[in-house]
Amino acid sequence: MAASGFTSEQFSLRREWLYHLTSRANLAFVQARWMLYSSSKLAEMAGCCLIPARRKQDLKLHVGNQTILIRDQKPLREANLEFENGWDMTRFVGLLNGLVFFWAGNAAQPTLGGRNHYKKYAAEGPVILRFACAELFACNEGNSPKFCKYNSGAPTRQHRPCCANTFVAADDAHFETGDVQEVVFGGEVVLPEKIQIGDSFSGEWATLRKP
């Protein structure tokens, strides 16, 4: 029998932690604002507009006196997506650019998609931010999360997102909480007071503090 949805509370009990990977160069920007922003929002803050096309390399933006690094979209392959009527690669990239992404997980590690994402950038020494799921949800009551059972940025032939239904509200989900790979918010995310920071999933976690 297909799942008939779940609540955010049920999800946070099953997946107690959410993970976010970012370049170490972005850390000062995150600390100064205590927010995370979508790629589109960052471009707006930098006074420019993102071209809705797959990024083949990292992009640097300048917001005030700070430089922000936005990751490439190399793993996003058009052949591995299912396009419904009205959807194409341009529209899907635009959708992704407007979201802030987190990997679902437990206290030990995020989902397989999150671990694979980390491996791709591990040599660059990225920063891993970890949040108590319930606390992050509580900080963003006016910006409800959506859930995805795929690695939307790196779809495969076996796991091909249908663009219109890649991200769904909790009560519209036709999958279980344990199937969720990604949790996303539109535009911008207010961060909770307590943020843990680490260099790897297996190492020690420190507390990130507001400056």
Concatenated DSSP letters of the chain: -------HHHHHHHS-EEEEEE-GGGHHHHHHHTEEE-HHHHHHHTT----SS--SS-EEEEETTEEEEE---TT--GGG-B--TT--HHHHHHHHHTEEEEEEE-SS-B-HHHHHHHHHHGGG--EEEEEEHHHHHHHTTTS--EEESS-TTS--SSS--BGGGSSB-GGG-SS-GGG--EEEEESEEEPPS-EEEESSSSS--EEE---
Asked if residue 149 is part of any domain, the answer here is yes
Asked if residue 3 is part of any domain, the answer here is no
Share of residues in the chain with pLDDT > 90 (%)? 79
Q: Looking at 42-46, 48-52, 167-171, which range is the least confident one?
A: 48-52
Asked if residue 176 is part of any domain, the answer here is yes
Asked if residue 74 is part of any domain, the answer here is yes
pLDDT tens-digit map of 78-125: 999 988 889 999 999 999 999 999 999 999 999 988 999 898 888 888
Asked if residue 56 is part of any domain, the answer here is yes
pLDDT of residue 163: 83
CA distance 165 to 179: 15
| Number of domains comprising the chain | 1
Record the pTM: 0.94
The answer, yes or no, to whether residue 23 has pLDDT greater than 70, is: yes
Distance linking the first and last C-alpha atoms of the chain: 50
Q: Looking at 87-91, 123-127, 190-194, 207-211, which range is the least confident one?
A: 207-211
Question: Higher-confidence residue: 113 or 185?
Answer: 185
Which range marks the domain in which residue 87 is found?
8-208
Asked if residue 37 is part of any domain, the answer here is yes
Asked if residue 24 is part of any domain, the answer here is yes
Asked if residue 130 is part of any domain, the answer here is yes
Specify the residue for token string 């960052």.
Answer: 42
The answer, yes or no, to whether residue 157 has pLDDT greater than 90, is: no
